[in-house]
Amino acid sequence: MNNITKICCIGAGYVGGPTMAVIAKKCPHIKVTVVDLNEQRIAAWNDPDVSNIPVYEPGLSEVVAEARGRNLFFSTDVESAIDEAEMIFISVNTPTKTYGAGKGQAADLKWIELCARQIARVAKDNKIIVEKSTLPVRTASAIKDILQHTGNGSQFQILSNPEFLAEGTAMEDLDAPDRVLIGGDSTAEGQNAVQALVDVYANWIPRERILTTNVWSSELSKLTANAFLAQRVSSINSLTELCEKTEANISEVAKAIGTDSRIGPKFLKASVGFGGSCFQKDILNLVYIAKSYGLDEVADYWEQVIIMNDHQKRRFANRIIKNLYNTVNGKKITFLGWAFKKDTNDTREAASIYVADHLLHEQADIAVFDPKVQAPQVYADLDYLRTREPAENKSGVTVVTDPYEACKGAHAIAILTEWDEFKGYDWQKIYDSMLKPAKVFDGRNLLDAAKLQEIGFQVWSIGSSI
Ligand code: NAD
Ligand code: UDX
């Protein structure tokens, strides 16, 4: 089955949508159907106005506009798409379990299992199943076990092909990835399946960037790549606190460290803490897997990355409180940014949510402005924590669609997301409209602190003693 002409992807989310859009663009000879149970999401992907597609990624709407209806389709008819496809990507969510054994650490694989059972029920011929979701090492054996019992003689090959795209740069990452990783069985059938997927990617990716491994190495590499990346952020963030005590400057320290070619300059940007749907979930999952093999020291080592990240978010909120004379009760604090990073509308695990929650405990009045996040999402994020009644979140937080309006009458501004547009605001106008002393807490080291101080702001940038 080396010549793939029909692909189905189960899961039309932040990974399934962009990934399949790029495959469809690069492989006009392949029909790509993306399916999801969520009718609203599929309707949004099919919205005639491409600016309404449910995932905001620079460059994505253009690709959807080009390929949709030609060889890219979005549908809720999961069964037909499975039936028709030769290759099925599983790209459903794998969040941290919120109940039962492994609660708070293990990955919840119920959606993965549902997909496997649905494929087993529907498939009438041989298929290649591709794990695109991030999964605990050895999940492929569970999927195989389910698929082997269909009773109709169909043969399935399970490949692991984890996705390394980062949100906000997904289209560039998919267009020119550092590598594509494909894990498969060492049997002849397994290697044929690997080759079929290699051939799909080889339509635009140089062959030397396509790595092939066994299934388990591929599954484990994804979890550990995220753990390594997050570890760098926690490492640099751990030093911000030390910089603040010693008058060392975190940006200077990061540059000095990162110019060592063995270390490298990327992923050393100090912040209010990492967010996103992947880092925390994947490290917790790694911790759980290590513990389940009795590897307590390994588990403790990686758990520290999360402990440091939680500390960083809490520390930022406490810094605001302390600096506002130990009380924020009734004080307006403006959040510029709610998304977990710039250039995305995704807010999952964003540091802003936890900083807001902490400040709401202290009865602050929070105003939020984010260029791509709307009010219902902000309230949903806070309500999801279940720390207080939804009505209390509504009364404590106002979501504003104009940044200048958001800052008017505020005691302080907190920068939670590094949106480029914040740098170009009229900061004199903002200063004039605020209560004095007007304070800025820059959780991303985004703004020019010296310029703001010239205007009259009191500025605190993370990892700096000013
Ligand atoms: P998402 O929540 O945005 O999308 C998942 C989609 O799957 C949802 O729309 C959901 O309705 C759908 N779904 C769930 N079960 C289904 C079923 N049985 N049938 C049909 N549809 C179903 O998630 P995401 O961010 O796209 O992540 C998907 C996977 O990719 C996760 O394992 C994640 O860890 C991994 N990943 C994510 C990123 C990222 O940047 N978001 C990057 C790399 C890997
Ligand atoms: C991450 C991985 O990078 C990607 O390879 C994987 O496929 C999915 O998870 P993503 O979460 O989308 O991607 O974004 P990423 O750029 O990794 O940022 C994650 C968080 O770390 C963000 O909150 C970001 O602001 C923060 N971060 C990143 C820092 O605080 N400092 C840095 O130097 C880099």
Angle at 279 between CA 273 and CA 281, to 5 degrees: 120
Q: Given pLDDT bands bounded at 50, 70 and 90, which one contains residue 2?
A: low
Which ligand has the minimum distance to the alpha carbon of residue 284? Answer: 1
Pocket of ligand 1 (CB under 6 A): 10-16, 35-38, 41, 78, 91-94, 111, 114-115, 133-134, 163, 165, 167, 277-278
Q: How many angstroms separate the alpha carbon of residue 283 from the centre of ligand 2?
A: 13
Mean pLDDT, the chain, integer: 97
Contact 329, 363 (CB under 8 A): yes
What digits encode the pLDDT tens for the residues 70-87?
999 999 999 999 999 999
CATH of 6-213, one of 3.50.50.60, 3.30.2020.30, 3.40.720.10, 3.40.50.720: 3.40.50.720
Residue 1's pLDDT is what? 52
Residue 268 has pLDDT above 80, yes or no: yes
**Range with the poorest average pLDDT among 147-161, 206-220, 366-380, 383-397:** 147-161
Q: Which residues are catalytic?
A: 278
Q: How many angstroms separate the alpha carbon of residue 357 from the centre of ligand 1?
A: 26
Q: Does the ipTM surpass 0.95?
A: yes
Sign, CA dihedral 386-356-233-160, equals positive
Q: Please name the residue whose Cα sits nearest to atom 34 of ligand 1.
A: 134
SS3 percent helix, strand, coil of the chain, rounded to 5, is 45, 15, 40
- 262 marked ligand binding residue: yes
Q: How many angstroms separate the alpha carbon of residue 100 from the centre of ligand 2?
A: 29
For residue 26, count other CB atoms closer than 10 A to its CB.
17
> Where along the chain do its domains lie?
6-213, 223-279+288-298
- 409 marked ligand binding residue: no
Does residue 437 have a cis peptide bond before it, meaning omega lies within 30 degrees of 0? yes
What digits encode the pLDDT tens for the residues 333-382?
999 999 999 999 999 999 999 999 999 999 999 999 999 999 999 999 99
Residue 426's pLDDT is what? 98
- DSSP class of residue 434? S
Model pTM above 0.90: yes
Q: For residue 254, give the nearest of 10, 463, 63 by alpha carbon.
A: 463
CATH of 223-279+288-298, one of 3.40.605.10, 3.40.50.300, 2.50.20.10, 1.10.1040.10: 1.10.1040.10
Q: For residue 178, give the nearest of 201, 209, 223 by alpha carbon.
A: 209
- 225 marked ligand binding residue: yes
Maximum separation of any 2 CA atoms in the chain, in Å: 75
Burial class (CB in 10 A: 0-12, 13-18, 19+), 262: exposed
Mutate to test the pocket of ligand 2, among 173, 279, 284, 418 (most ligand atoms within 8 A of CB): 279
